[in-house]
Amino acid sequence: MYFNHGRAGTGKSALIDHYKAKSFAQEFTSTQRPVLVTRISAKRDLDNTLVQMLYDLDLFGASQYRRLGFGPNLEQKLVDALKLTKTELIIINEFQKILEYKSEQERQAIGNLLKYISEEAQVPIAFVGTPLAAQICEDPQWASRLIRRRRLKHFCFKDINERRYYLSYLKGLASRMPVEFPPDLASPPFAIPLFAATRGENRYIKTLLQEALILALQEKNNTVSLAHLSAAYTSLVSEGVNVFELPFEQLKLIEIETTLCSNSDMKTLDQAATGTQHTKPMNLNDILSVK
């Protein structure tokens, strides 16, 4: 079993979509489902999770399980269905939801069931979720099953290698902008305030750039300028100073803390679910003097 985790907005769902699209690019018969993307059922019981999986396999007749209720032997039905659809990988997104199963026994039961299905149908399972889902790894039974783990992160600026990655990502975005002269987003005048505005969160980076691009296109401009970004920032963030108007010395950069959260540093589940940890605001001078 594989385990892929990352904070909200780090690209987990995008990775799944990409993987699914790639697998569907090949030719298949109508019953083949090489990749099953599913989730833990919102109704908190095991049977519903199995029904959810059958439903997500999208086989003819799957909807009858919802209508007619659950017959006996749902596990076996699912295993048979997985063989029929020649499924090669099951991906379970939003896996942190399993923590909503209150008792440890209930969680164990789901774990055992998924293991049984994975072994019987000979299909590996990949779990995807927020850092909260990583708590499951503190459980020795799960930990021994989740052999391969991978973490997706927000962008960072302080570390030079991570900064290079951020800059190359901006370059990539710029080259995809539908304007005659793409802006040099990886240059300091763009890249630095953009980080200050977004804390390296991709969702914000894309929203801000999209807004700026719309403004540029409305003006029939052949490039996206700092003025467009500044105006986009004002329209999206109504209060506080505009980071695109500030001199570099006054900019403060914040990164999303990359350390893993665990039970020990989060007092409640709620806190772990919502509490994003940030670094202290950093001055650009301090960052750039760090070698």
Ligand X SMILES: Nc1ncnc2c1ncn2[C@@H]1O[C@H](COP(=O)(O)OP(=O)(O)OP(=O)(O)O)[C@@H](O)[C@H]1O
Q: Is 8 in the site for ligand X (CB under 6 A)?
A: yes
State which amino acid sits at residue 194. Answer: L
Q: Closest distance between ligand X and the C-beta of residue 12, in Å?
A: 3
CA angle at 201 for the pair 199 and 203, rounded to the nearest 5°: 140
State which of residues 1, 3, 4, 13 lies at the interface with Mg ion (CB under 5 A).
13
Stretch that binds ligand X, among 1-9, 53-61, 160-168, 212-220 (CB under 6 A): 1-9
Q: Which residues pair with 152 in a beta bridge?
A: 6
Residue 202 binds which entry of ligand X, Mg ion, none, with Cβ cut-offs from 5 to 8 Å by kind?
ligand X
Name the residue whose CB lies closest to ligand X. Answer: 11
Residue 74 CA, chain-centre distance (Å), reads: 30
Helix 202-218 crosses helix 188-198 at what angle (to 10 degrees)? 120
Residues with Cβ within 8 Å of 7's Cβ and at least 6 positions away in sequence, in order, are 130, 131, 153, 154, 256, 276
Stretch that binds ligand X, among 10-18, 24-32, 99-107, 271-279 (CB under 6 A): 10-18
State which of residues 130, 135, 198, 230 lies at the interface with ligand X (CB under 6 A).
130
Stretch that binds ligand X, among 9-17, 175-183, 211-219, 267-275 (CB under 6 A): 9-17
Residues with Cβ within 8 Å of 72's Cβ and at least 6 positions away in sequence, in order, are none
**Residues in contact with ligand X, shown as a per-residue x/- string from 184 to 213 under the rule CB under 6 A:** ------------------xx--x-------
Residues 13-72 that bind ligand X (CB under 6 A): 13-14
Q: Which residues of 151-164 are buried (b: 16+ CB within 10 A; e: fewer)?
A: ebebbbbeeeebbe
Question: What is the H or E stretch that residue 5 is in?
Answer: strand 2-6
Distance CA 129, CA 131 (A): 7
Residue 6 binds which entry of ligand X, Mg ion, none, with Cβ cut-offs from 5 to 8 Å by kind?
ligand X
Name the residue whose CB lies closest to Mg ion. Answer: 13
Q: Which residues bind ligand X (CB under 6 A)?
A: 6, 8-14, 130, 202-203, 206
